[in-house]
Structures are given as structure tokens and as C-alpha cells.
Structure 1
Amino acid sequence: MRTSFSALLAFACSASAASQNYPTNKLATSEPHYPSPWMNPQAVGWEEAYAKARSFVSQLTLAEKVNITTGIGWESGQCVGETGSVPRLGLRQLCMQDSPLGIRFADYASAFSSGQTVAASFDRGLMYSRGKAMGQEHKGKGVNVVLGPVAGPLGRAPEGGRNWEGFSPDPYLTGIGMSETIKGIQDAGVVACAKHFIVNEQEHFRQVGESTGRGYNISETLSSNVDDKTLHELYLWPFVDAVRAGVGSVMCSYQQINNSYACQNSKSLNGILKGELGFQGFVMSDWQAQHAGAATAVAGMDMAMPGDTEFNTGYSFWGANLTVAVLNGTVPEYRIDDMAMRIMAAFFKVGQTVEGLKPVNMDSWTSDTYGYLHASVQDGYQQVNWHVDVQSDHGNLIREIAGKSTVLLKNDGALPLNKPKFLAVVGEDAGPSPLGPNGCPDRRCNKGTLAMGWGSGTANFPYLSTPLDALNQQAINDHTRIEAVLDNYASDAYEALVSQEGATALVFVNADSGEGFIDIDDNEGDRKNLTLWNSGDELIKNVSSICNNTIVIIHSVGPTLVTDWYDSPNITAILWAGLPGQESGRGIVDVLYGKVNPAARTPFTWAAKREDYGADVLYKPNNGNNAPQQDFTEGIFIDYRALDKAKIKPIFEFGFGLSYTSFKYANIKVQKNNAGPYQPTKGKTAPAPTFGKISKNIGDYAFPSAVRYIREFIYPYFNTTSSLKAASADPEYGRTAKQFLPPGALDSGAQNLQPAAPGLSDTPGGNKQLFDELYIVTAEITNTGKVVGDEVPQLYVSLGGADDPPVVLRGFDRIRIDPGQTATFRAALTRRDLSNWDTVSQNWVISSHPKTVFVGPSSRNLPLKAKLS
């Protein structure tokens, strides 16, 4: 029996499966969903944007519509991705730029804390402020679309290389991170791009070229095989929040979903994203994630990035091929209109205007002032960098985030420091890289202190405050003696240092990871283990065996195994500082010395063993030379859900974090609201609209004599007008739509709305009744200590079913409370919060199982509970 989205995967994923070749008839499949839903100008929040888009798109020729949907090619412009332009109407090429923590390749721009780090703050306001500051900086450089934030990977496996770009393996926390970041970015006037859609959970085998270059013999990329319930209740959850926040674009990912490429998976793009969620923005491909032309168009992709089939080839699945496809009917006219409308609606939604666009003032391919406008072919030498300073006062914000996101995991009274007599600082991670903070492109080395991971999700540091820098300055102020050994392997030197009487040892260690095109010490993007790098665990054990006041500070991309040393009585404090960005040093010193009273919570679980997490990276191909099969047989049970289900005690549970004061929880109350019964959405869309007239005269698409041809640049024009077949060398476009396209792909009639979808006049993101507030939960939190501090009360729900996790996060807040004072925590529970996905009705349902709510400071410390009636 072949497996589909709506069926539970029945085959095992285990260590023994790594060498197994799956018979073809057992591979997961993804059912088709056509046609691609067209935009809805009535959607709440999009009305004005679509009115402006209609006015603009109605003036476009077919070639101009194709031009704004197709990238111009890798290194053909100043940004990592650019669409074609519409010079006749004054629209320049639109600029797409990494990254989710700053502006990749830019100078005089900030390097922010990672998404995972700010998630640890459990502070919605900081998440929003970070997003807005990043948006302002991108706008200041002329960027139109920020390629972030990240909810894929969610963090299925703790070794996942790009987990740090996102927020948390908990979908609720990631959803809040996505929503607040998107609002901030788009309030700054640039389009946010939620990525990577969807179940993009590891770097191994994400692209064939990367894999074969490492000796893996595969012909297709990895397939993430997931069932319908898991997809909805776990991986789709934060993308729902992104769509409700009004995100302008979504990036489809590299890997396959149930053996259908994500950028031509009609079920995920047409059926779920655009149909069920009612997404009104545009879907862009990840760079080289497009594997077909017409098939991707009718499956719901709207923009091809960077435009060429492979970097620097000059060939494109779209461009002129898309022009041919529309003219010969392989792609319907309404689909190209829908693509253009979605792109321009997102553009207008964030306040951008054609006449108000400033030129791009940075260049991704050179840091020099002058360079080639078309770097790939060294054409158009001119000024490409204006070195515009867009940092504003964002360093202060980054410092605040670094401090408020540092998690205090252990404290036996060693912290906060108060003018210590002698500090012995140990570890490479405390100091600078000998190559400088930007000495390794895309941060492709781990030297000195770790403040961000590697890959396209990086930014250049304008400066980097290292821990040793900031500690030296504090020591000067306090008249503290301070010495440092920055070599993890110089055991004689650091042992002699920390053995001196009165030493307080600060040991700095790290663990790195990143994107799959970079390999560091055989970590092919994904981490190969969960140990600390550069013998960090041995460093800690050696120092703590000598010094009875050893404080450990971890900079990492996720959890590490601390089992062998965390409970040593000589280790008096442990802090996780994440990837704090350019203000790493000042941020950690603020916490160490009590200028910031820590309140951050770990956004993931610290397990005792790697196996406790319930899911892992697939490191070896398991399907012959075909697509490796990564089977999500653990379902919704990842991170704390996995440990809770298996009744495994973690070292530090999800949501855990200490403070320099203490808090007491009391008096939980539940108020039930009268929201009324849930009604599935009914009705139909309007028929597919078209805008403007498309000329059928093939001669109108000849390469214009007034346009200078640039090699490798992607154009919508034909080199020959003898016939449409001759105009396209791709055999895909030589077939008729009837031969090539699946049933329904060309249908332009009114379509039934899905039961879980928003109505035509509702906010996108799903059936509006899913967001009705059914209950209000309150509790009282008292600061029982002697210093002011923030507390992070968390609301968890037990959905009650045998297949449900024991608890799931459904609310939190960060509240500042003075000593002796009491504050009220308040959280609303929506219908969505209490529902499960029903694969039969294809809708959300509240089961009859008894529901219980819990409130406390972490997922395993929940002193308050109440039943829901």
C-alpha cells in the first residue's frame, strides 16, 4: 500500500534502517491538489494592497509579468536574488537578501542575536523590536524582501544544522517568534519571507550536488516523509502564525515532501498553504530548489530564485520558457496573473511604492566601492557600494537581547559576581578569532568566541564584543585581577592558572553548526554529535577538577550533552548564552555581574543522552542511489514531548531557567467564554480573474533590439520567433497541457472553500473560529526574593488523549516584579490551542478527552493546575 499525506507512515526509521533499500511500493506519496488557488482581494489586511496591485499588473505585458516572477540569475545583480524589472513603469529589479539575523554580505550593518537566542528571552516585545530593527537596516540598504524568519527547520533533531536560525522545537514558541518578527520586519517597510516550507529538518542530502561532492551516490534529494496529523499539529503550526501576521512571502524548501519536491508539491502549496491557510502572498523557491517549469507554476510557486536552473548557467526553467508556457496554454493565463498579483500585493502591503524605491546601495559580491554590476560575467564596472551606515542604535538592542536571552541553568550561589578578587578566564570561546570576526566567509570556521553559526543565515560583524573584552573592562572598573588562557589544549597553562588560591574560573565553550554547503571538521552542516567542540567537555572537567568555583558559559547552536560534568560540586554555575551576535561580551557580563537579572528559559530540552530526543539526522543514504527517505515516525513527539511521553528525566527541561531572586505561584483561575460552536467554512471562491490582455503574436516576444544582452542574465524574451516549440529548448514545453499536466491544473472555475480555511472576508491563517478565545487562565506570581526580577510563567495544556503529549505549551509572558510584590499572569486559550487535526474531516476538532491546564516556571515544574469544563 502506498502511503499518502493523510495516512500514518507505517515503516520504521531506526539506526538499522540507514542501510535499508526501500521497495518502491513502500515509499511515501503526496496526493495532488489542483488548481492553484488564486488571490483573494477581500482578505482582511490585503484589500488596499490588492487594489494597488491590480492597477499595476493590469498595465503589464506578458513578458513583464514573467520578468517579475523570474530571478535574473546568480550573481547577475547586487543582491543574492533579484527579479526582472519593468522599466516602462519605473519598477526596478526587486532585491531579495539574506539573512534572518542581519544583512548578509553588507558592511556598516548590525549582526543580531540568532532567532533561537531571542526565543530564549520568552519576550514578545524583544522579538518584535529585533524584527523591526533588522527590517529598518535592510530597507536602508535598498533590500525589498528579507529572507527570514525561519520556522523550517523547526528542530526535529537537535543535531540539525540550521536549527539556530529558527526559534524552538516547540511550535507554539516558534509561532510567536515568527509572528512578532514578521510584524516588526514589515512594519519597517520591507517584505518578510517565512522559510523553509516545510519539514526541512536537516542539511544532509538537501541537494544532490552537495551530496555527490561528498561521495554520496544519490540522484534525488532527501524526502521528508510525514503524516497529515504530524504536519498540521507540529510543523505547520508556526507557519499559520506567520500567515496570520500578514507575511508577504513564503520560501519553499530544497527537500522533497513525501517524495514530491517542496517547490512543486501541489498538496503543500496549493492545498495547505494557499487553500487551507488562505495565504495571500507569494511563494518563492529556495536557491536552486526549483526542479521543473510548468509543473512548479501550476503547483503554486510564484517566484523562481535565483532564476537559473543551476548557478551561473544562464538556463532557466522559467524566463522565456514561462512565456512559451503561457502562450501555448501549458500554464493558464490566470496563473501568471496570480503570480504577478501576489508579488506586487506583498510589495504594496508593506508600504513600498514604485516611485519611492531607492536604489540598492550595497553589493553581495565585493566589499569594494567599485565592482561589476553583473559579477558572474564581470560586466558593467561601476560603483556598487555606497557603504551606507544603517546600524542606528541597534547595538544597544542587541546587547539587551543578549542579556535577556542568557539562560541561567545552574547557580550554587556563585552568581552574580561582586568585584571578585581574581578571575581566571579559560577557553578559546572567550576571546577573538585570530582571523578577525569576519575572517572566514559566511562564518565557515569556529575560531574564537562563537556568536553566530555558519551559512547563508549569517551577517558580517561591524564589531564583536568578546567576553574577554567586556570582562577586562569590568575588571578595570572593579580593580579585579584577571588573566586568561585562550587555548583549549594548553592544559599546563590553564591548570596552573586556575589552581591559584582564590580563583574564580570562567570557562567558555561552544558548539557550532550551519548550512549544508559548508563542512567543518566533518560536520556537514548538521552536527555529527552533541558534544562541545574543541574538547570543551574535557576542558570543563579538567578545570573543575582543580578549581572549586568553576562557572561554565556555553555558546551553542542548541543543546549539548552535559551529563558527565553538570552536577560536579566544583561547577558552581552554568549559563547558556546561545548565539548572541555582536554584543556577546557585554551581554554576558551584564548577567554575570547582575546588571541583568536572568529570566530567560531554555527553548529546547537538555537531555542526558542523544537517544532521549526520539529523532535524529539521517546521515547515510538508505534508498540505493534514489532519494534518501527520512521517516518522521516519531510523529509529534520531539524534544520535550518525546521525553515526557517516554517518562525520561532531562538534565534541564524545556522552559527551565533560574533567577537571582525567587517566585511563588498561586491562585489559578479559569474563566470560560461563550464562543459558540465551531462551524466549518463553506462557500466558493470567485472564478479565476485575469488582468490585462496577453498578445498571442509570437513576434511581440522577440529579444528587443534596445536591450543590451548580458550573458547568463535571465530574460523573458525569445531568441527565435519561428515557432513556440523552437523558442523553448526544454521538452517539457513541447508537450500539450493535456499530455503533461494533472487533472484540474487548468481549471479556472469557482472552487469550494476548505472546511478549515478562512472565509473570503476573513483574516488569512485558517477558519476564523479557530482563533476564538474559549478560556482565560490567570494566576498570581509573587517575587519572594530580595531583588527585582523578570519571571516567565508558562501555560501548558493536556489535551487528554492517548496519542497526545502529556503537556504542550500554549501561553507565556515575561513579567517584571518588584520584591514582595504580586503580579497577575493572564493567558487566553483559543479553539486552535485545544484542538487536534482530524484526518478524516480535514478539520480541527476538540476531542472529548478531559482537558487540564497547568501554570508554572517550566515544562516539568507546574505547581498550578485546573480542569477545563
Structure 2
Amino acid sequence: MKLGWLEAGTLAAASVASAADLAYSPPFYPSPWSTGAGDWAEAHKRAVEFVSNLTLAEKVNLTTGAGWEQERCVGETGGIPRLGMWGMCMQDSPLGIRDSDYNSGFAAGVNVAATWDKRLAYQRGLAMGEEHRDKGVDVQLGPVAGPLGRSPDGGRVWEGFSPDPVLTGAMMAHTIKGIQDAGVIACAKHFIGNEQEHFRQAGEAQGYGDNITESLSSNIDDRTMHELYLWPFVDAVRAGVGSVMCSYNQINNSYGCSNSYTLNKLLKSELGFQGFVMSDWGAHHSGVGDALAGLDMSMPGDVILGSPYSFWGTNLTISALNGTIPEWRIDDMAVRIMAAYYKVGRDRVRVPPNFSSWTRDEYGFEHFMVSENMIKLNERVNVQRDHASGIRKLGADSTVLLKNKGALPLTHNERFIGILGEDAGSNPAGANGCADRGCDDGTLAMGWGSGTANFPYLITPEQAIQNEVLNYGNGQTNVFAVTNNSNTEQIAAIASQSSVALVFVNADSGEGFINVDGNEGDRKNLTLWKNGEHLIKTAAQNCNNTIVVMHTPNAVLVGDWYDNENITGILWAGLPGQESGRSIADVLYGRVNPGAKTPFTWGKTREAYGAPLLTKPNNGQGAPQQNFSEGVFIDYRNFDKNNEEPIFEFGFGLSYTKFEFSDIEVTALNADKYTETTGKTKHAPVLGKIGEASDYLFPKGIKRIRQYLYPYINSTNLREASGDPYYGEKAEDYIPAGATNGSPQPLLPASGPSGGNPGLFEDLYQVTVTVTNTGSVPGDEVPQLYVSLGGEDEPVKVLRAFDRITIAPGQKAQWTTTLTRRDISSWDVPSQNWVVRDTKKKAYVGNSSRHLPLSIELPAAK
């Protein structure tokens, strides 16, 4: 039986295969073709016109990377020389340009979330987009909503934003808008359920001694998928994101780039995504299967990085020639890629890549992998502009004041300042001394892995505070630094003389291909690194005015020292980027009144979070099974459910002034009745004709680069050209039912042209509160609106709206926000739709998840 989109998708997303008792991802075919819906119409029209004039080989070139280290960027497709179009350049990272020079080192995503400031998210996105654009990058590989932050010790949580889907979704959307307004395609990643580094790739895990043959399976039920992990990707699609990267892990035992349910059903059908899906590097697992499952671009093109083999390239050409993959599917891949290209205006602002990811030398091999063709690689174009000022501001505005017993702000009249801790100082090897920041030497300003960028410089806290004293002090202050955590005797001596001891500590994490001190990407525990707890206790025993500054990717355990009476201040500064020292000095000395809020919960124990990492194989040599059995209850939702008292709750942060909340009002707005989407798509469009096999032989006179991935074939005998010993087997034996069906398909009830059914995004309520600055200095407050959905299986409350507002002392500000239908809906698995349940719903407003002084029942929507 051939299944249409609807019939294949009505199965539960995590149904169980009884034979193996493992989570199962049901098939969903065919892969939806793009339509140009919403604000994609013009870009789609231009893409169709462009692709209609391409040969099959040229379409294939758009979809397939040239191979690892074959071109300048970390990933680069083939070009279309006939039209003067060079290959499309994909470049890390979500916080700046990786493996480049004369670029900025921005703050991490987690810092953006800590600002709770959508404007800053946009400005950072715009600045990063400008730098990528002027280096010749077509696609910036970010921002990140996977990992969302299921586990605080997950290695790459800092690349993303927050374990709350609303906070992450908002920051995702505004970052995307900024990047794409600069003329660069953003790439929302990693789709989906990519919540830990352990076992994300079988080969990587084998390198660490784990005897497994398949990558981890994140087993997620349908409700949790929709209400938690998919939520920020909805916001990304609504923001117009041009590309989405599928992840290394499996979802319900189907690989992320092979998963027809997550790609075809959730992303392309339900959310109406009009851009293209690219694979993570090495996450492409099959030729025909992944094409039919919804993958549009193979990165970096080779089966194994650095090999001469590709699932696509030549093999995609053969699959089209022999009819295994329908022409409309390849046309759709190319149209999606070019629609994203036109949507952000790449045709107007494009320059060739002017740097190399593989060497900082000015001259080197154009094809680095195979040492061919010496050229000038690095043109050393400076793209930094004035972005340092924005990085400094974001670093300060993301610093969370967790404790203050009147010690802050400092006054410039301190008698003796001790700066204590390795985290205050420089890496002896230099700011970029460890490849991809794969160490924890000196002050920590970003984690490690592909989500990094080279620093142009790194201002350390030691440098900034010493300059502060020299430039703005009274000339009488003594300032000394001890940046060796092991020198306990000297630390104690300096602390005992200090009128204020500033203690800098950190914990690090990153991507799984780098192991730092036994931390295989994920953190081994939630303690501070480099004996940080001992450093803090030594300082506090010798100075009754000890202030602790933490640079960490997420929460650490602070229960042994946070309430020490000699610790008068605690600040979390996250991973603030190149201006780290200046940012923290701005806060310490009161030029910036801290207004940040913690974007995650600080628990008393690791166990309090639930959602443990899986660190030991549990399925023999097969895919380790990570069951997301906690459902939607992660971070503060889990703490609320279990009545667990946090040390610092989600959304908490102090200021140098005080705020009060009053006068909550709610108004039901007129909204249309929610109706499910009905009808069918149009027939899959076919653009042009494939032609004969002889049309795709290697062109005469072409200079073939070793291991370079081409779309051409060596022989008109397709079996011979493929080199595949299984070539010619019956397609029906391996092609899923309905996968090649280009006839009109039924629309899903919850689907829509931009993120889902349009009725979900209609405003149902307006909520207004008054916020008053009752202190003596100007400050920023973050009003936060939470909703109780009222059901027995619902979280106690969920964040639904927020903003950051500046209020003068003694002044009042009226904050008004709205709640959409999505905000008060729950995902109903049987109907595969969003529903507003018949339960009492309540809105709460305050300045943290545990300080919500205002509440009001939501009336029936009009």
C-alpha cells in the first residue's frame, strides 16, 4: 500500500516496535515540495525560474558538498560555472566565524538568553551576519535550539539559549532575523533531540572505547516533541529561516537526516518550512533513503570526512537517471536552496570566500585535502567594524547578579583589591592557543568545538580591573592578581590583605570530538573546574568581602559556599566573548546596572534536575537508548513538579535598584475560531528534462581534482558508473511506500504556511501590568508572564511572554503583552492537532519563576 502524507503520519511519533521493544519512528512520505507560501513567494518564483534552466548535473552540484577540505569553507557545494556561480559556502559558528581571522569573538547563545533582550539578540545576529557576509559566507551555521538544554551538563548547551522553549524560540527568531537582514542564510540546528555529546556518533564513541555500532537514539513522545523540542523551531520557521541542519543522533531509532517523520512530516509538512535541510557533517547515512526522507543538501559531501566517496554527487545523478529518485524531488532540493539564496539577497551582496578554514598562512593549497593548486588563500579582510562595543554591552547585560550584600557596585575607593583565580588571567598559549578552544587555560570566554570562533583578542578580567584601578581610581588603591589556583598560600596571603577579593572560577564544556580532562564534550559533573571550590573557600576564609564571578556554560553546584557570610557578592558571567574583562568591570563598577536573569535553574544537586545524561551503552552494540521519560518536565518545570527548592530559580537576577509589580489587567480579544487545515497540495512540479546518461559524462578537458566530488558519471552503463554491487535490485524492496508519489497530498490539520496553522498565532488576550522602580538608580527589569494551563498532566506554570525594560528611579512603566492561541494550547496526540483544553487557566507576572506577585484568571476567549 502506498501511504500518503496523512495516512503515514497518523501513527504515534514514538510508537513501539514490539519485536525489539524499541521506540519507533513511523514513515511519512512523500517529501513535501516547496510552494513559496507566505513571504517566500518572490524568492520561490525566482528559484523556480533559475532551476528550470539548469541541467541535472547542475542541480546535483547545488545539493552536494565538494568534499571535506576541498574548498575554503568548512562546507562548500559545487558551483554552476556556466552561469558564473561559485559553490555555496557554509561556515560555523553560532557565535562568529570559525577558523578565520580579523573577525570578532561574540558572546555565546546562553548569554543572549540571559539578557532576556530580543533587541540585543537581533543586533548580535546582524553583526555576525555582516561578518560572515563580508568573508564570503553564504550560510552561517547557527543559531542553535538543539540542544535545548534537557540536561545542564550537556556539552553544547551554551551554543543554544535556554531550556525554556519560549525564551529559546524568541532569541532564535531574532537572531535569525538579524543574520538574514545582513544578507546571509541562517541555519537553525541541530534538528532534533540532540541533547548530549555521548554517543552522538558511533565512530566518535568507538574512539572513546565504547563498543557500539549505531548512534544514540533520543526517544521522544509526540506531545513532548511538539510542546518542548519543536517549539523553538516553529519560531525559527516563522522568522523565515533559510536552512535547517539535521542532527547526528537518531530520533526514535531513525537517524536525524534519514527520519521521514521529523523532516517530512514535522518540519516540511506541519510547519510549512520552505527552505532547505542540510546534513550535519557526516550525518548523511544513505543516498536514496535520505533524499526521499527530506534531506536537501549533503555536507560536506563525502561519506566519511576526507574520503573520495559520496552518497550523492555522481550517485544522485544516477538515481535520477534510472528513476529511483523522481526528478521532482531533485528539483525541489534545488528550488529550496535557491529560494533561501534569493530570500536573503545573496545575489545582491555576494563575494567569493576570502579566507581558508584550513590554514592561517596567506598562501596555501586551494584543495587542501589533496594538496593541489597553490594560491593566495587568506586575504585577511578585516570584518570586525565596531562590533566590539556591542559585544561589550551584551557581555555586561548578560551578567546575572545572584547575590549582593551591599558590596556592589565597587566605588574606586577600595584600599586593596585581590584578583584571584586562573579564570581571571590569560592562557599562556594565547587566546587561540588551543584549537577550537579545546582546553580550559586562563579565563573562559567560550566553550570548545565547532561552535567557536577565533578571538581577535581577549580582554581578561585581570587586565580590565587593573586598568580600571589605574585609569579611574584615586591613585591609592593596591591591586594584585594570583592566577595560579594551586598556589593556596599566596591566594590566602593576598586575600587576607584585601578590602575586596574578586575570585574568578569556571567550568567548561563543548563538542564531543574534543576531550578536555576526561570531559568528552559533556561535563563529568556540575562542580567547578581547577579546584574552584577550594579557591573560593580559601579566599572567603581570609577576606570578609569576597565576590565570586563564574564563567560557566550552565549551572554549577554552589550549595557548599554560596551562603557563606564572607561571600558578599556572586555573579554569573557565562561565556561573554572577546570583551569579557571590560564587560565584568562595567558591572562591578556600576556603569551597567545588572538586569540579566538566569536562563536556567541552579539546583542543590545534579539529581534535582532529573533528565540524566546517558554515559554507558545500554543496548548491547546497538544504538544506546536515551528515553526522554521526563516528558516536558525539564529545568524549572521539573523543580516545580517535584516541589524541589532551587538555590537560584529560573528567571532570577538582582539589580542595584528595586522593582515592584502592580495593577494586572487582562482583556480577552476578538479572534477567529480555530479551524483545522484541510485540502490538498498541488501536484509536485517537474522542472526541465533529465535527458540521457551520455549527457552527464565527465566533460572533455575538465581538470579533475583528486577526491573532489563531481556530479558527472564515468560510463553510460549506470551499474558500472555507480560501483554499487547491489545496483539493480528491485526498488520496491528498499523504497518506502509512497515515497516517490508526486500527486496532490492531503494537508495536515495543524499545518500552515509559516510555522503551522495560522490560527495558532492569533492573539487571544492582552495582559497589562505596572512596573515601578522604587530604588535610587536607573535599572532594567524583566517582567515575565507565566501561564498555568490547568491540566493534571501539565507543568505548574510555563513561561509565555517577557521583555526587558529600562525604568528611571521613582518612575512607573506600563508593560503590555499578548497571549496567542498557541500559548494556551496543548498538543493532542489522537487528533494530531493543538487544542485549548476546558480547564481554568491563570496568568502570573513577576520577575522570576518563583517570584510572581501578580496573578489573574484568564476569561473565556471571545
TM surpasses 0.5: yes
Residue number among 353, 361, 370 corresponding to 2:354 in the alignment:
361
Q: Please point out which of 817, 831, 839 is paired with 1:841.
A: 831
Q: Distance in 2 between matches of 1:308 and 1:428?
A: 42
CA distance in 2, matches of 1:618, 1:371: 43
State whether structure 2 residue 584 is matched by structure 1 residue 588: yes
Is the counterpart of residue 715 in structure 1 residue 714 in structure 2?
A: no
Instruction: Say whether the 8 Å CA contact 1:263–1:290 is kept in structure 2.
Output: yes
For 2:170 and 2:527, how far apart are their aligned partners in 1? 30
Check conservation: 1:7, 1:228, Cα contact below 8 A: yes
- Alpha-carbon shift at residue 9 of structure 1 (Å): 6.7
Cα shift at 1:24: 5.4
* Structure 2 counterpart SS, 1:127: helix
Are the structure 2 counterparts of residues 300 and 581 from structure 1 closer, same or farther at C-alpha, using a change threshold of 3 Å?
A: same
Amino acid across the alignment from 1:827: T
Task: Return the letter of the residue paired with 1:27.
Answer: L
Structure 2 residue 401 is matched with structure 1 residue 408: yes
Are residue 394 (structure 1) and residue 387 (structure 2) matched?
yes
1:70 and 1:198 mapped to 2: Cα distance?
22
Partner in structure 2 of residue 499 of structure 1: 496
Partner AA of 1:864 in structure 2: L
Deviations 1:245-276 (A, max 9, x none): 00000000001000000101000000110000
Alignment of 1:421-432 (within 5 A): 421-432=415-426
Where do 1:696-775 residues align within 5 Å? 697-721=692-716, 723-731=717-725, 733-758=727-752, 762=753, 764-775=754-765
SS at match of 2:579: helix
Counterpart position of 2:571: 575
Are positions 1:801 and 2:791 aligned together? Answer: yes
Matched with 1:143 is: 137
Where 1:685 maps in the other structure, the secondary structure is coil
C-alpha distance in 1, partners of 2:46/2:730? 35
- In 1, distance between residues paired with 2:454 and 2:146? 23
Matched, 1:692 2:685: no
- CA shift at 1:737, angstroms? 2.7
Question: Residue 559 of structure 1 is aligned with which of 534, 555, 577?
Answer: 555
Residue 825, structure 1, aligned to residue 782, structure 2: no
Deviations 1:429-486 (A, max 9, x none): 0010000000001001100000000000000000101001100111112022100100
Question: 1:78: which partner in 2?
Answer: 72
Is residue 2:625 matched to residue 1:620?
no
Change (3 A) 1:301 1:9: closer
Q: Structure 1 residue 859 and structure 2 residue 849: aligned?
A: yes
Q: Contact between 2:400 and 2:596, CA under 8 Å: does it hold in 1?
A: yes
Q: Specify the alignment match of 1:305 in structure 2.
A: 299
Distance in 2 between residues matched to 1:193 and 1:356, nearest whole Å: 18
- Contact 2:10 2:832 survives alignment (8 Å): no
The residue that corresponds to 2:6 in the other structure is none
Change (3 A) 1:197 1:376: same
Alignment of 1:72-471 (within 5 A): 72-353=66-347, 357-419=350-412, 420-471=414-465
- 2:35 aligned to 34, 40, 43, which one? 40
CA contact (8 A) 1:324 1:733 kept: no
Q: Secondary structure at the match of 2:346?
A: coil
Shift of 1:569: 0.6
Q: Is residue 309–residue 709 contact of structure 2 (8 Å, CA) maintained in 1? A: yes
C-alpha contact 1:855 1:864 (8 A) present in aligned 2: yes
* SS, match of residue 815 in structure 2: strand
Amino acid at match of 2:633: F
Q: CA deviation at 1:503?
A: 2.3
Aligned position for 1:18: none
**Cα displacement string for residues 81-109 of structure 1 (whole angstroms, at most 9, x for unaligned residues):** 00000000111111000000000011000
Contact 1:325 1:733 in 2 (8 A): no
- State the match for 1:667 in structure 2: 663
Distance 2:407 2:102 in 1: 38
TM-superposed CA distance for 1:341, in Å, is 0.2
1:479-521 CA deviation, whole Å, 9 max, x = no partner? 2210010011100001011112x52100000000000000011
Counterpart CA distance in 2 for 1:131 and 1:678 is: 34
The residue type paired with residue 491 of structure 1 is: T
Any idea what SS the aligned residue of 1:497 has? helix
The one-letter code matched in structure 1 to 2:605 is K
Measured after TM superposition, the shift of residue 739 of structure 1 is 2.4
Runs of 5+ unmatched residues, structure 2: 1-8
Range that drifts further, 845-854 or 699-708: 699-708
2:747, 2:203 → 1: CA distance? 40
1:788 maps to which of 759, 774, 778: 778
Distance 2:148 2:514 in 1: 20
Distance 1:258 1:732, change over 3 A: farther
Show CA shifts across 1:763-812 (max 9, x none): x1100010000001110000000000010010000001111110100000
Distance in 2 separating the partners of 1:733 and 1:839: 40
Change over 3 Å in CA distance of 1:317–1:732 after alignment to 2: farther
- Percentage of matched positions with identical amino acids: 61
* Alpha-carbon distance, 1:147 to partner: 0.2
Shift of 1:740: 1.7
CA distance in structure 2 between the aligned counterparts of 1:462 and 1:80, rounded to whole angstroms = 20
Counterparts of 1:153 and 1:812 in 2: how far apart (Å)? 22
3-state SS of paired residue (2:806)? strand
Query: Aligned partners of 1:122 and 1:356: how far apart in 2?
Result: 31
Whole-Å Cα distance in 2 between the matches of residues 470 and 210 of structure 1? 40
Q: Indicate yes or no: 2:486 matched with 1:489.
A: yes
Aligned-residue offset at 1:706: 2.4
Shift of 1:40: 0.7
Alpha-carbon separation, structure 2, partners of 1:587 and 1:118: 14
In structure 1, distance between residues paired with 2:726 and 2:760:
42
Taking the TM superposition and a 5 Å limit, the aligned residue runs for 1:590-669 are: 590-669=586-665
Does the Cα contact within 8 Å between 1:330 and 1:733 map onto a contact in 2? Answer: no
Tell me how far apart the structure 1 counterparts of residues 11 and 173 of structure 2 sit (CA, whole Å): 28
CA shift, 1:421, in A, is 1.6
Q: Detail structure 1 runs of 4+ shifted over 6 Å in the superposition.
A: 8-11
SS in 2 for 1:499: helix
Q: Distance in 1 between matches of 2:520 and 2:596?
A: 30
TM-score (norm 2): 0.97
Contact 1:668 1:864 in 2 (8 A): yes
Q: Deviations over 1:596-633 (max 9, x none)?
A: 00010000000000000011110010000110000000
- The residue identity in structure 1 corresponding to 2:601 is T
| Secondary structure of 1:134's aligned partner | helix
Measure the CA separation in 2 of the matches of 1:653 and 1:309: 45
Matched residue type, 1:340: A
The CA RMSD measured in Å over matched residues stands at: 1.3
Letter in 2 for 1:807: K
Residue 8 (structure 1) shift: 8.7
CA distance in 2, matches of 1:317, 1:617: 32
Task: Number of aligned residue pairs: give it.
Answer: 847
> Could you say what secondary structure the match of 1:106 adopts?
coil
Q: What SS does the aligned partner of 1:734 have?
A: coil
Shift of 1:738: 2.0
**How many angstroms does 1:676 deviate by?**
2.6
Task: Give unpaired runs (5+ residues) of structure 1.
Answer: 12-21
